[in-house]
Amino acid sequence: MGDLGPSARRFLDWLADAGVTLWQILPLVPPGPGESPYATTAALAGNPWLIDLEGLAAEGLLTAEDLVAPDFPLDDLDSQAMKAFKAPRLARAADALLAGAHPAFAKACEAFRKAHPWVDEAALFIALKADHDGQPWWLWGPGLPERDPAALAAARKRLAVEVEREAVLQFLFDHQWQALRQHAANRGIRIIGDVPIYVDRDSVDVWANRDQFRLDEAGNPVAVAGVPPDFFSDLGQLWGNPLYDWERMAADGHAWWVRRLRRARELTDFVRLDHFRGFAAFWEVPADAPDARGGRWVEGPGRALFDDIREALGELPLIAEDLGVIDEPVVALRDGLGLPGMRVLQFAFGEAPDHPFLPHNYVEHTVAYTATHDNNTTLGWWQDTSAHVRDHVRRYLAVSGQDVVWDMIRATFASVATMAIVPLQDVLCLDGRSRMNSPGVGEGNWGWRVRAQAFNTSLAARLRALSTLYGRAPAK
């Protein structure tokens, strides 16, 4: 699936050669169903499947024999095969560290756990979930859903080995990620992280903080999150996440959110707040609704949340993902906080000249995209879109459409937007078979892989030429 090792460093080297100074990533969390990074068992944790085994062997936690791997598909993730290979090796590495194979690492791991109390809670949750064959926490044995102290103590004792392993894996992930982030910084590249607004019901975040969510006595959501019908779905999107009890959160200065964003800033240089509009008003859907059409807008926490975050953490480099149904209160909150929003070029065409996503209507304090991870690739979009939209693209960009993907990249780079982000699939001119995610579709997403051969000097030169032309590349 790729990892945090030499291939990732080579990718960063290629980005630097291409004049790229920003790398936007998906959430780094343990992925949920369908390998989605927007559904996770632990929102503060790192994805242990990204741990580099070569790096563990170099530290004496694995042997050379452990690195002998079967052939995996080059273009798509085979998650079952990957996990079957990596799981026993990650367990062996964790056991080796716990057995004293690397005293310096053991000391650093202890310090990491002390500085991050959430690690032990997440490790216990993950171990308990495995012990219950993957069942959600509200179906666990007596006392555990309610977090009865005696039941928790017994579980920690019974699953001590598994809990320790999971905690060590969190340390190893963090150690490798921070090294990779430093490599990026050394190459002049800053990383944009991603914080989804909601968390999964079946997560340590809800299990350990039930009072922060709108749940009944049995732990069932009173209402769930989603969005109304939009560009992506006529039925809306029924996400099913439990909603926050914003009044309760405000009572302790939104401490839950402060912890979450503190962790995000430990991992990345910028933080993209997914579904920013939900902080102004969110779409509340009855828990038993079959789809999202029967929901209603409810006022969100607004500025009070961000004032508490700023008081605790200072000014944060946030990006507001302000897509979807955007009204004046959302704009007022975004602008009042001084946050840049997003403009997506694919959404601009076929509309009136005053459409805000057409580049001549951009403002400087914004982030421009050809597309996001939820869109089709630009080539796939071009192939599927209407003749009316294609005609508008040709006339607006003054192009023939023969090289439309790079024409769109050029328009994004040429805009006044402070930041310009292009999905890697667009840089490689890939069609819809390489799409990252189709919203509302539960399977077949998040599996795209890129081959190392893609990162060649000619492609880097083409990207650098545009970056230099429009003042986005650093001076050599």
* pLDDT of 17 higher than 90: yes
Q: Per-residue confidence at 141, pLDDT binned at 50, 70, 90?
A: confident
Lookup: tokens for 376? 């089709």
Beta strands in 180-257 (DSSP E): 190-195, 223-227, 237-242
* pLDDT of 462 higher than 80: yes
pLDDT value for 245? 98
pLDDT value for 229? 86
Q: Per-residue confidence at 23, pLDDT binned at 50, 70, 90?
A: very high
Catalytic residue among 3, 66, 166, 321: 321
Q: Per-residue confidence at 205, pLDDT binned at 50, 70, 90?
A: very high
* pLDDT of 476 higher than 80: no
User: Which of helix, strand or coil describes residue 410?
Assistant: helix
Averaged pLDDT, 405-428: 98
pLDDT value for 234? 85
Q: Per-residue confidence at 407, pLDDT binned at 50, 70, 90?
A: very high
Q: pLDDT tens digits for 40-85? A: 999 999 999 999 999 999 999 999 999 999 999 999 999 999 999 9
* pLDDT of 37 higher than 90: yes
Burial class (CB in 10 A: 0-12, 13-18, 19+), 19: buried
pLDDT value for 219? 92
User: Which of helix, strand or coil describes residue 82?
Assistant: helix
pLDDT value for 235? 87
Determine contact, residues 395/349, Cβ cutoff 8 Å.
no
Concerning whether 374 is annotated as a catalytic residue, the answer is yes
Catalytic residue among 54, 131, 230, 374: 374
Concerning whether 321 is annotated as a catalytic residue, the answer is yes
Catalytic residue among 266, 274, 291, 335: 274
CA distances from 393 to 145, 360, 361, 423, 457 (A): 54, 13, 15, 19, 29
Mean pLDDT over all residues of the chain? 96
Q: Per-residue confidence at 474, pLDDT binned at 50, 70, 90?
A: confident
Determine contact, residues 355/389, Cβ cutoff 8 Å.
no
